[in-house]
Amino acid sequence: MKPTLWSPWLSTESDIRSALERFERLFSDATPHRRPAVDVFEADGKLVVEMELPGVDIERDVEIKVEEDMLDISGETHSDRDYTEEGAHITERSFGSFQRRILLPDGVDPDAIEASYTAGILNVTVPLPEAKAVTAKTIPVRATEK
């Protein structure tokens, strides 16, 4: 078994990420952007982001960019109806601008990120950097006189 680098900060980073997500959800109603449903998971050495975006013109209305350590997915959804007209009974769908920001792990290559759109689902794959193997090294101790 090959040794790998372990960091006590990984669980702390996960806790901070989780707290930031909860904080963002708390104030999501106060922001001008809606938040499409998103799943983020790891599979086959990649971070996978799947976002529900039914009915969007993906090439015209969606922008994906990487800024420092954040994956930023933003865009706008449109309706072909004017729901202010009389006759609307229920209007639950929301239209307008949306944005989601996903924290990326250190060492991600932005040029290797790929995106596809099928059946209303945006799929963004981010190749994860390989864990650095830790090699054993003996550290000599030098005795000094006081």
Domains and CATH numbers, the chain: 9-79+88-127 (2.60.40.790)
Rounded to an integer, the average pLDDT of 129-141 is 82
**Residue 49: what pLDDT?**
97
**Residue 73: what pLDDT?**
96
| Contact of 125 with 47, CB cutoff 8 Å | yes
When pLDDT is cut at 50, 70 and 90, the band that residue 58 belongs to is: very high
**Residue 3: what pLDDT?**
56
91: exposed, middle or buried (C-beta count within 10 Å: 0-12, 13-18, 19+)? exposed
Rounded to the nearest 5°, which phi and psi values hold at 13?
Answer: -60, -40
When pLDDT is cut at 50, 70 and 90, the band that residue 50 belongs to is: very high
- Inform me whether the pLDDT recorded for 74 exceeds 90: yes
Rounded to an integer, the average pLDDT of 9-34 is 62
Which residues have a Cβ under 8 Å from the Cβ of 46 and sit 6 or more positions away? 125, 126, 127, 128
Q: Rounded mean pLDDT of the chain? A: 82
